[in-house]
Amino acid sequence: MKAAVLKSFGSPLAIENVPEPVLGTGEVIVDVVATRVLSYMNEVFDGTRNYALDLPIIPGPGGIGRVRAIGPDATKLVVGNWVFCDPTVRSRDDAVAPDIALQGLTAAGPGGMRLQQHFRHGSFAEQMRVPTENVKRIGTITSEEATQWCALGTLLVPYGGFLAANLQAGETVLVSGATGNFGSAAVSVALAMGAACVVAPGRNEAILADLVRRFGSRVKPIRLTGVEDDDRDSMKRAASGPIDCVFDIMPPSVSTNVVRAAVMTVRPYGRVVLMGGVGMAGGAGLDLPYPWIMRNCISIHGVWMYPPDAASRLIALVRAGLLRLDEYQATTFDLDHANAAVEHAAAHGGPFKLTVIRP
């Protein structure tokens, strides 16, 4: 089969023929129809992000495809089913604290690297092998619709954060990083889950205005000034009431002052979700006042990805019409032009934009 292979950091993907994946027990083989290209994949491939990858590897986190072959432990899947391939692979021998690898992208710790050594190859290929539990049926779609269904991979990240925070319908949410790719997805997911109000701070006024245009008056845009106390007061005033949940998805380049200003808008007994990259590129970590956390009974959730059932639940939100995939505008490439797709994704990231490879 044809695949795009990363052989060394800093080198372009090699488009070549590789052996087809071999089915094992507890696994499914999927014919990949469409797979998204992350906006920062170029930084993964050149080593800037220092992701844990055992090279050579076929990259690509998740994708949309059709079931080609199933193992003996699959009782619901049928060959030909349209499915989402969830890239969050978990070890099966510790339900309390499983090791995790993101198939085709990275791994966490020695246990995650052991997972990657088996489920190493991702979706930049004509076929991929996936753990049975990571194959989620999405119902009948057309081949053309598979492109927009790739947005699931983006939307799942904030959905996992809101599930961890137990977001309830009618609550007020603040999304720190609302003008970014994952942040704008968080705005749409929070509204789909029934948030009464989403405070959306940012510096890009055009994107803030676009969020209001897309989702209406439940979005409360706030232009950040960089002055921590002033920004915190502005965010609080914009909310229709106390802020129940703060969701942070800021990238590594952002100052901790900006993150802290948002986090400390949350009400007493409120919840904070940290899913961003602050501190991952070095520099100071996030400093929060111990007395403020303790005396206000603040719950802080560090969340990496999402629980195993999140993809199926998010698919149900899409099927119910509560979450719209047609918000996303996609540019597609074939597998032969995978390197061009990576360049395009880096140059054209941002809210509601997809770069997709269709093998």
Q: Quick one: 170 and 287 in the same domain?
A: yes
Amino acid identity at 21: P
C-beta separation of 260 from 267 below 8 A: no
Q: ∠ CA 218-224-227 to the nearest 5 degrees?
A: 140
Q: Quick one: 175 and 115 in the same domain?
A: no
Residue 227 lies in a domain: yes
Q: Quick one: 178 and 234 in the same domain?
A: yes
φ, ψ of residue 340 to 5 degrees: the values are -65, -35
Q: Quick one: 124 and 227 in the same domain?
A: no
Share of the chain above pLDDT 90, in %: 91
* CATH number, position 98: 3.90.180.10
Q: Quick one: 176 and 140 in the same domain?
A: no
Q: Quick one: 166 and 286 in the same domain?
A: yes
- Longest CA–CA span in the chain (Å) reads 60
Beta bridge partners of 239: none
Query: How sure is the predictor about 141, in pLDDT bands with cuts at 50, 70 and 90?
Result: very high
* CATH number, position 277: 3.40.50.720
pLDDT at 324 over 90: yes
Structural domain total, the chain: 2
Q: Quick one: 160 and 147 in the same domain?
A: no
Q: Quick one: 143 and 165 in the same domain?
A: no
Q: Which helix (H) or strand (E) holds 244?
A: strand 243-248
- Who's near 93: CB < 8 A, 6+ residues apart? none
Residue-wise pLDDT tens digits, 267-278: 999 999 999 988
Residue 317 lies in a domain: no
Residue 321 lies in a domain: no
Q: Quick one: 243 and 282 in the same domain?
A: yes
Segments forming the whole domain that contains residue 80: 2-151+328-358
C-beta separation of 350 from 180 below 8 A: yes
Residue 70 lies in a domain: yes
Q: Quick one: 65 and 188 in the same domain?
A: no
Query: How sure is the predictor about 42, in pLDDT bands with cuts at 50, 70 and 90?
Result: very high
Residue 23 lies in a domain: yes
The predicted structure's pLDDT at residue 349: 87
Residue 319 lies in a domain: no
Residue 112 lies in a domain: yes
Looking at every residue in the chain, the average pLDDT score rounds to: 95
C-beta separation of 346 from 196 below 8 A: no
Q: Which helix (H) or strand (E) holds 350?
A: none
Residue 302, classed as helix, strand or coil, is strand
Q: Quick one: 172 and 274 in the same domain?
A: yes
Instruction: Enter the tokens of residue 320.
Output: 């119910």
Residue 37 lies in a domain: yes
Q: Which of 32, 275, 307 is nearest to 149 (CA)?
A: 32
Query: How sure is the predictor about 244, in pLDDT bands with cuts at 50, 70 and 90?
Result: very high
Terminus-to-terminus CA distance in the chain, angstroms?
A: 10
Q: Quick one: 113 and 209 in the same domain?
A: no
